[in-house]
Amino acid sequence: MIPVSGFEGRVVAVLGLGRSGLSAARALRAGEADVLVWDDNPEARARAEAEGFVARDLAREGGFDGVDWLVVSPGIPHLYPSPNPVVAAAWTAGVPVDNDIGLFFRALGGEGWDSFDSPPRVVTVTGSNGKSTTSALIHHILTSSGRESQLAGNIGRGVLDIEPPEDGGVVVLELSSYQTDLARALTPDVAVFTNLSPDHLDRHGGMGGYFAAKRRLFAEGGPDRCVIGVDENEGRYLANQLAEGPTDDRVIRISSGTKLAGPGWHVFARKGFLTEWRKGRQVASIDLRPVRGLPGAHNHQNACAAYAATRALGLAPREVEAAFHSFEGLPHRSQIIAEAGGITWVNDSKATNVDAAVKALLAFGNIRWICGGLMKEGGLTGLAPGLAHVTKAYVIGREAAGFALGLPGVEAEICTTMEQAVARAHAEAQPGEVVLLAPAAASFDQYDSFEKRGEDFAARVRGLLGL
């Protein structure tokens, strides 16, 4: 645990008692703050009270009497589509609102850091797609190279649950827009922006607010090095805003599919090869095609981002390349779960939006595609580039019929349930084909999370195959 200092003897309220909320409450108490907690869920309050925390209904009149600071869990809206009543009450009371990410950066760099030969570093990763894989890959490369590394944030442990980093250690944080939007302190050493596509628009009041939440990590965080995906206009804009000129190598531009040129620092992947250019000359090249854990152009973009971030930390290209080959990928993200009878079964349940699903479709050919679920704002517009790779779609979810209508030119069978979709794909798949779960939709119409959806898919596949 990282004790949060600076609040000794002050009253700090924590709203939301999930993983990050309870972690923040514990870290604040370890730093000698007087902690109050609240969650609308009585069971969550009971768990916190069992640990000795005092619950107070912050929304009632006088709820903020004596409170100096409010820490809000990331799932709680603080502005759009409308502020949570407790957040609005904090504004009225003049109480600063923060989150666990802000507390982490406030607490980092305390006593003892002056004695380190190599001060610990923090690498942050944000973007619409690829954050988890990129973060895990950076962590894997570092540990494979013998560097101390901890992975936290939106993946793995809560950020305040990790141990204080040691001499030369690296903390790798995956940060969602919910986390970057509210944190009052953001000071990473290396910050990565993967890409941007429409997502969480209701939470941020539109695409501009969504991008602004991501941009805070760079514009206000002031990282020493920025790794920026420039395959969208937002990334190109961000890289231009951060760089002082074409030779400014504090900004490393990355791309999947486009050869980047110029005197700056560039890392790009084309036709399966990752290439690093610096000061107008090629520095290194890696063949990504045999890297089993990183299939497809979207994973090649993740590889470029992780390569650039670890190079910024001083690792050699050969160290990064060796680590690529031992990376097994993450569950529910282009995860090969079985190969039998010449048929490959792939779980990409994390493809919860159209952009992620298209990237998964483009990574494979001859696909029997299991898709569907709770459609997000914007519907299925944008799927077209990947549909040519689809032999047949098997549509699940309560909106299966409507989802199928959004797949022009694709043979689609309405299955509704995962059980039926897997059974029908198994019955019809031929050697050389891929059965891919990439829903292009949220899971909440049938599952508690995309993880539960992916686990159901994997279990049914293994059951049919007798694995």
User: Which residues are annotated binding-site positions?
Assistant: 127-133
Q: Encoding tokens for residue 278?
A: 């610096």
Show Cβ contacts of residue 170 under 8 Å, excluding neighbours closer than 6 positions: 120, 121, 122, 123, 142, 147, 148, 149, 150, 313
Binding residues for ATP: 127-133
| CA-wise closest residue to 335 among 252, 160, 454 | 454
Q: Which residues pair with 289 in a beta bridge?
A: none
Vertex 378: Cα angle to 135 and 192 (nearest 5): 20
Q: Encoding tokens for residue 447?
A: 């599952």
CA distance 414 to 404: 7
CA distance 74 to 70: 13
CA distance 70 to 250: 35
Show Cβ contacts of residue 383 under 8 Å, excluding neighbours closer than 6 positions: 354, 357, 358, 361, 406, 407, 440
CA distance 274 to 300: 8
Are 34 and 10 within 8 A, CB to CB? yes
Are 7 and 31 within 8 A, CB to CB? yes
Using only C-alpha atoms, what is the Rg of the chain?
A: 23
